Every structure is written in structure tokens, then in C-alpha cells.
């Protein structure tokens, strides 16, 4: 009852979904947490956003969000890209919760294809949007068969796939969606996060919830749970290598970066994929009055907004956020290490 008083729009329940639907999702979430890595089927009703555009993550967020939560929504690390903005708008309209671009200030972060750079805490929840929840889909087309394979923990074909990769290319070619074994039992598709983010799932402080709306599956990696990427004894798992690269906006050398090609100068540029983290680093370097890596004249090298604006409600913030992603539209964005699942 308390939550319903807070709703912004009449005609909708708090967080859009009716309470029974939310309760169903919460029950499935409990099951998912109780059996780490197990894909729990759920109803996945229609939403005002098309399936395949983050409805799985959206439903989880809607089911767990309360009026006191502080929400952050990111799309491939960026707070300002279309998918994130739309989902954030829908959630704000139907809940009225505060939003933030600051990872540390958020209590719930919904994300597409990235885990934030800053280590998350135990009082935070990360909700991931998943296009294809089934890691065995690489090797088996039939859902009935893959469920049986999970039931019997028969992952040999995934292993053979990796073996064949090594034989053919001398390297495992899976860039994003790297299959990982949770709690030494269930193989999961960690959603199309880059390899860089996969180790963050292992023995984390934070609860990771995965929702696939189109495929109607929910699964979870609870805190302090093993989540190990598949690797051979003589071919260990590796993350993307950014040695010698630094972000043109904040100068960071230890983050996951997007490679961009400036067609006018022909240069390859690198910029932090996590825009919130990048902004904060720039902010710090400005306030400390340190020389920040400012490639003058480049459209990406603009001074970040004021610190207060970082935690301001989205309505004001979204206007003052034509940073990386929007202006980068002029540049051709190249995704590092292969295929993005979409």
C-alpha cells in the first residue's frame, strides 16, 4: 500500500507491473538465487518496450525496485545511449525514484552488456539484460536437449567447441558471452559482457540478476559464489589487452575501452566504455586542478558537467549529457574483439 502512494502516473501501478506479476518474478528470483546459474522460466508479459530491447532486465528491476531506491541505467557502459535513456525514462515515470550516473550512489543498476568499472558493494544489485540466456545454444539448437544437458551437467560439447577454436585459430574466439560455470554446477551465458567483466562475477560482493525477456528466463549469480570461465589447463582464460592504450577523455589505462576511428584524421582513439566512471575521473582531475589528458579541439575532449549535476534527476541531466556517445556518432565506433549479440 505504501508504495502505491508514491506513484507518479495515475492508471499505472508502481513500477508499471501489477503486484501479482511482480510477485511471480520475485518468486522466480528467489529460486534463481537458491540455485545459482539455473535458468528459471518466468511468464515475461508484454511491456511498452519490445522484447529483445531489455525487457528481461526491465522486469527484474520493476519487480525489485522500491520508492527509496536510487537507479542507474547503462547501455554498454554508457548512461546516455538510447536503450538506457528509454528504460530510465519509463522507470522514472512509473516509479518516481531518484536516478544517478554514479555507480557508488546507485542501489540498483540495470545494465546492457557491461559491468561498471568500480567494484560494487553488497547493498547494491546489478540487473543484466540478456539476449540469449542459453550458453549451449552455440552447440545445440534444441531447447529440450540443452535442458537435458544442463540437468545431466553434460557440457562436453561446449568444451569441444572451445577445443576446436584453439585448434583452428590458436585462440578461443568468443569475445562477449563467455561461458562460465557457476558454483561448479550450471553453465551460464553471462550476457554479452566483454571478457573483461567476466572475472567480476566470481566471488563478488554484489548480487547479479540476469533477465531474458524474449526467452523468458531468469538466473542469478549470488554474492560470494564461484563463477569460473571455462578454460583449459594449458589455455587459460584471458581478458582483453589494452596495454599501451589510454582513454582520451580521462587518461585511464586500467579500464575497458572502446576503440574509435576518427575518419577525418585516420587515428584510432580509445575511450572508457564506462561513461560514469570516466566522467568521475575527469571531474576529480578538474577539481584537483591537475592537467587532465585533454586532446584540445577534439569533440570528445569537453569539460564534464559539475559534480552536483552527476546525481541530479534525469530530466535535467539528460539535456546536459551530450558527451561521448552522442557526439561520437560522428565517429565510427568499432567494437573491440568481435561480435556484439543483438
Partner 1 sequence: MAATGEAVLDVRGLTRLYGAGCPDCLVLTGPDAGTNICPQCHAIVACNNISFDLEQGEILGIVGESGSGKSTLLRCICFDEEATAGECYFAAFGTGRDDAFSQTGQARRYIRNHLLGIVYQNPLMGIKPHFTAGGNVAEKLLTADVYNVSLIRQRAATLLQRTEVPLARMDDFPANFSGGMQQRVQIAKALANNPPVLLLDEVSTGLDVSVQARVLDLIKEIQRDLGIAMIVVSHDLGVIRLLADRTGVMQHGQVIEFGLTDQILEDPQHRYTQLLVHSML
Could you list the active site residues?
37, 247, 250, 272, 278
Q: How far apart are CA 135 and CA 233, in angstroms?
A: 21
Closest residue by Cα to residue 297 from 265, 319, 255: 265
Q: How far is the CB of 172 from partner 1 (least distance, A)?
A: 10
Q: How far apart are CA 49 and CA 181, in angstroms?
A: 31
Q: How far is the CB of 115 from partner 1 (least distance, A)?
A: 26
Residue 100, classed as helix, strand or coil, is coil
Q: Do residues 253 and 271 lie in contact, with contact meaning Cβ atoms separated by under 8 Å?
A: no
Stretch that binds partner 1, among 102-110, 125-133, 150-158, 278-286 (CB under 8 A): 150-158
Element (H, E) at 108: strand 108-112
Chain centroid, CA 276 distance in Å: 13
Stretch that binds partner 1, among 121-129, 194-202, 228-236, 263-271 (CB under 8 A): 228-236
Give the number of residues in contact with partner 1, rule: CB under 8 A: 18
Q: How far is the CB of 145 from partner 1 (least distance, A)?
A: 13
Task: Tell how strand 70-75 and strand 40-41 pair up.
Answer: unpaired
Query: Which of residues 1 and 167 has its CB atom nearest to partner 1 in the complex?
Result: 167
Task: Please say whether the dihedral angle defined by the alpha carbons of residues 280, 286, 291 and 292, taken in this order, is positive or negative.
Answer: positive
Q: How far is the CB of 141 from partner 1 (least distance, A)?
A: 12
Q: Do residues 258 and 271 lie in contact, with contact meaning Cβ atoms separated by under 8 Å?
A: yes
Per-residue binding letters, 93-132, with partner 1 (x by CB under 8 A): ----------------------------------------
- Residue partners of 185: CB distance under 8 A and separation at least 6: 36, 37, 153
Cα torsion 42, 43, 46, 48 to 10°: value is -40
Task: Name residues contacting partner 1, limited to 229-248 (CB under 8 A).
Answer: 232-235
Does residue 290 bind partner 1 (CB under 8 A)?
A: no
Among 30, 43, 50, 153, binds partner 1 (CB under 8 A): 153
Among 19, 143, 148, 254, binds partner 1 (CB under 8 A): 148
Query: Which of residues 123 and 233 has its CB atom nearest to partner 1 in the complex?
Result: 233
Chain centroid, CA 143 distance in Å: 25
Residue 261, classed as helix, strand or coil, is strand
Stretch that binds partner 1, among 6-14, 156-164, 316-324, 332-340 (CB under 8 A): 156-164
Q: How far is the CB of 170 from partner 1 (least distance, A)?
A: 10
Among 104, 163, 286, 311, binds partner 1 (CB under 8 A): 163
Q: Which residues bind partner 1 (CB under 8 A)?
A: 148, 151-154, 156-157, 159-160, 163-164, 166-168, 232-235
Amino acid at each position: 500500500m505504501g508504495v502505491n502512494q508514491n506513484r507518479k502516473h495515475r492508471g499505472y501501478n508502481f513500477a508499471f507491473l501489477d503486484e501479482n506479476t511482480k510477485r511471480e518474478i520475485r518468486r522466480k528470483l528467489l529460486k534463481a538465487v537458491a540455485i545459482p546459474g539455473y535458468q528459471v522460466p518466468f511468464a515475461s508479459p508484454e511491456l511498452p518496450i519490445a522484447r529483445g530491447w531489455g525487457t528481461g532486465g526491465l522486469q527484474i528491476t520493476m519487480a525489485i525496485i522500491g520508492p527509496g531506491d536510487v537507479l542507474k541505467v547503462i547501455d554498454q557502459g554508457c548512461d546516455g545511449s538510447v536503450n538506457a535513456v528509454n528504460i530510465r525514462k519509463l522507470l522514472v515515470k512509473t516509479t518516481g525514484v531518484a536516478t544517478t550516473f554514479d555507480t557508488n550512489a546507485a542501489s540498483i543498476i540495470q545494465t546492457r552488456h557491461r559491468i561498471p568499472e568500480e567494484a560494487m558493494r553488497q547493498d547494491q544489485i546489478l540487473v543484466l539484460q540478456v539476449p540469449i540466456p542459453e550458453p549451449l545454444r552455440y552447440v545445440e539448437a534444441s531447447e529440450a536437449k540443452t535442458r537435458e544437458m544442463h540437468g545431466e551437467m553434460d557440457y562436453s560439447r561446449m568444451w569441444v567447441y572451445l577445443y576446436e577454436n584453439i585448434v583452428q585459430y590458436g585462440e578461443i574466439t568468443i569475445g562477449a558471452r563467455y561461458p562460465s560455470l557457476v558454483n561448479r554446477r550450471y553453465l551460464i551465458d553471462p550476457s554479452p559482457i566483454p571478457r573483461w567483466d567476466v572475472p567480476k562475477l566470481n566471488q563478488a560482493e554484489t548480487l547479479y540478476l540476469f533477465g531474458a525477456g524474449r526467452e523468458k528466463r531468469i538466473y542469478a549469480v549470488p554474492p560470494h559464489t564461484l563463477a569460473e570461465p571455462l578454460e583449459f589447463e594449458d589455455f587459460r582464460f584471458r581478458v582483453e589487452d589494452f596495454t599501451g592504450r589510454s582513454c582520451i577523455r580521462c587518461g585511464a589505462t586500467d579500464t575497458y575501452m572502446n576503440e574509435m576511428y576518427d575518419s577525418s584524421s585516420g587515428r584510432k582513439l580509445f575511450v572508457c566504455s564506462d561513461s560514469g566512471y570516466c566522467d568521475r575521473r575527469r571531474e576529480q582531475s578538474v577539481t584537483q586542478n591537475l592537467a587532465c589528458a585533454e586532446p584540445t579541439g577534439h569533440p570528445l575532449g569537453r569539460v564534464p558537467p559539475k559534480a552536483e549535476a552527476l546525481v541530479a534527476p534525469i530530466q535535467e541531466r539528460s539535456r546536459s549529457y551530450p558527451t561521448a556517445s552522442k557526439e561520437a556518432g560522428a565517429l565510427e565506433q568499432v567494437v573491440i574483439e568481435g561480435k556484439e549479440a543483438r
